[in-house]
């Protein structure tokens, strides 16, 4: 069967694996297309996670693949510019039939962009999500010559509808699209809304909320760290999510926020965001 044109394109962020130690570590690159309007720090973190997935899938002989569940810390160290080449590195602490634990980094031209610390994901059966033979062939391409760069065309932002707003609080609804190109890549056999797209929206909305708070009138607010990321269930196409954001005033120059997404009263994911606050 011919591969869908969005497979390994619409939400795939590894072009070439340049160093590989089976079951343990890898280094890779991804060329961020120059024509994009933006490539967020959350997508950079996704690229690191995808490299860890390739190492763990190869180790399991494509019987299992990890899915996002827990990330203790994600440090935002710098911004990527479209046209940059990501330099990705991962190291697995352990990988078996049940779980994978790893950490990793992303740089561009030697500049640190993102660091992931103590990530843990369950290993689920590959055939539920993708064709094992297609993944095996793709890994061979990434290891031998690399994939053509520039296939990623960006992701349309998912609209957020505000339902209540206060000074440092926001309640909103996010309607996951019923169809989108990235579902053909994430994943072909079981479309799942990427956790990093949800996190990207939560971070963006929380930053906007913090910058509009009464204490931020003369402040410069930048994200520094996301901690305690927890995904409790898959998010399906067409699902409606209720977002709850709460930002506390800064203490010693650091503002902290809780971010949560729920559906039908059930929490599906959440995290805490830390922001550096500099006053002019």
Least confident of 69-73, 201-205, 209-213, 258-262: 69-73
CA 80 from centroid of its chain's CA atoms: 14
What is the structure's pLDDT at 39?
97
Residue 2 has pLDDT above 60, yes or no: no
pLDDT tens, residue by residue, 21-38: 999 999 999 999 999 999
Q: Where does the pLDDT of residue 1 fall: very low under 50, low under 70, confident under 90, or very high at 90 and above?
A: very low
What is the structure's pLDDT at 131?
97
pLDDT tens, residue by residue, 137-169: 999 999 999 999 999 999 998 999 999 999 999
CA 30 from centroid of its chain's CA atoms: 15
Q: What phi-psi label fits residue 155: left (phi over 0), alpha (psi between -120 and 50 degrees) or beta? A: beta
What is the structure's pLDDT at 11?
98
Classify domain 16-143 by CATH architecture: Roll (3.10)
d(CA 84, CA 87): 9
Q: Where in the chain is the domain with CATH 3.10.129.10?
A: 16-143, 160-279
Q: Which of these, 69, 71, 62, 60, lies nearest to 129 by C-alpha position?
A: 62
The CATH code belonging to domain 160-279 is 3.10.129.10
Q: Tell me the average pLDDT of the chain.
A: 95
């Amino acid at each position: 069967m011919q591969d869908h044109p969005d497979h390994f394109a619409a939400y795939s962020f590894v072009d070439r694996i340049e160093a590989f130690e089976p079951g343990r570590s890898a280094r890779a690159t991804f060329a961020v297309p120059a024509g994009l309007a933006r490539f967020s720090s959350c997508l950079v973190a996704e690229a690191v996670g995808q490299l860890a997935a390739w190492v763990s899938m190869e180790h399991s002989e494509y019987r299992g693949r990890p899915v996002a569940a827990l990330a203790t810390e994600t440090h935002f160290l710098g911004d990527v510019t479209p046209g940059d080449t990501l330099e990705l590195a991962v190291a697995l602490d352990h990988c078996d039939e049940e779980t994978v634990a790893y950490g990793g980094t992303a740089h561009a031209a030697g500049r640190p962009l993102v660091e992931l610390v103590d990530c843990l994901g369950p290993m689920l059966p590959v055939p539920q999500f993708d064709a094992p033979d297609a993944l095996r062939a793709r890994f061979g391409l990434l290891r031998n010559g690399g994939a053509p760069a520039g296939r990623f065309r960006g992701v349309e932002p998912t609209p957020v509808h505000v339902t209540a707003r206060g000074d440092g609080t926001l309640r909103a609804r996010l309607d996951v699209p019923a169809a989108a190109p990235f579902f053909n890549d994430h994943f072909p056999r079981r479309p799942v809304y990427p956790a990093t797209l949800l996190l990207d929206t939560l971070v963006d909305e929380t930053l906007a909320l913090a910058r509009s708070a009464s204490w931020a009138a003369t402040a410069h607010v930048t994200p520094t760290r996301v901690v305690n990321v927890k995904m409790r269930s898959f998010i399906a196409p067409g699902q409606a999510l209720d977002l709850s954001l709460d930002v506390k005033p800064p203490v010693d120059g650091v503002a902290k926020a809780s971010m949560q997404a729920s559906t039908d009263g059930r929490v599906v994911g959440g995290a805490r965001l830390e922001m550096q606050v500099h006053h002019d």
